[in-house]
Amino acid sequence: MSPVPLTPAVFHILLALTDGPLHGYAIMQAVEASSGTPMGPGTIYGTLERLEASGFVKELPAARSDRRRTFALQPAGRAALQDEARRLSRLATLVRAKRLVPRES
């Protein structure tokens, strides 16, 4: 079964979590940096909740010093991200083959 393409929000959030567990605001900043467009906290938490239901991420028990919720990437999430990355890279090759973007020299 070929993997289902991830939505941009899901992709960027999973991508943000590859370097380790983060809280919402840090994810938001990372997503803005990687996608180039801002994404609001409601979207982030809404997506995280869905990802949690699918077992892609998990909320870590809260540290006492910080009342913010922290999320960590789960193996299923990492796998989905890798599938998506492979898909994107295949697409990139295809796009180059059609000469839609100038070849990097």
In the complex, which residues of this chain contact other proteins (CB under 8 A)?
Answer: 23-25, 28, 38-43, 45-47, 49-50, 53, 67-69
- By beta-carbon proximity to other proteins, the closer residue of 66 and 104 is 66
Q: How far is the CB of 46 from other proteins (least distance, A)?
A: 3
Judged by beta carbon, residue 61 or residue 102, the one nearer other proteins is: 61
Q: Which CB atom, from 14 or from 28, has the smaller least distance to other proteins?
A: 28
Shorter beta-carbon distance to other proteins: residue 42 or 75 = 42
CA gap 69, 23 in Å, rounded = 6
DSSP 38: -
Do the strands 57-60 and 22-23 form a parallel or antiparallel pair, or are they unpaired? unpaired
Q: Quick check: 70 and 62 in contact, CB under 8 A?
A: yes
Tokens representing residue 42 in the block: 């409601």
Task: Please state the closest distance from residue 84 (CB atom) to other proteins, in A.
Answer: 19
**Minimal distance in Å, beta carbon 1 to other proteins?**
22
Give the residue ranges of DSSP H helices in the chain.
8-17, 24-35, 41-53, 75-97
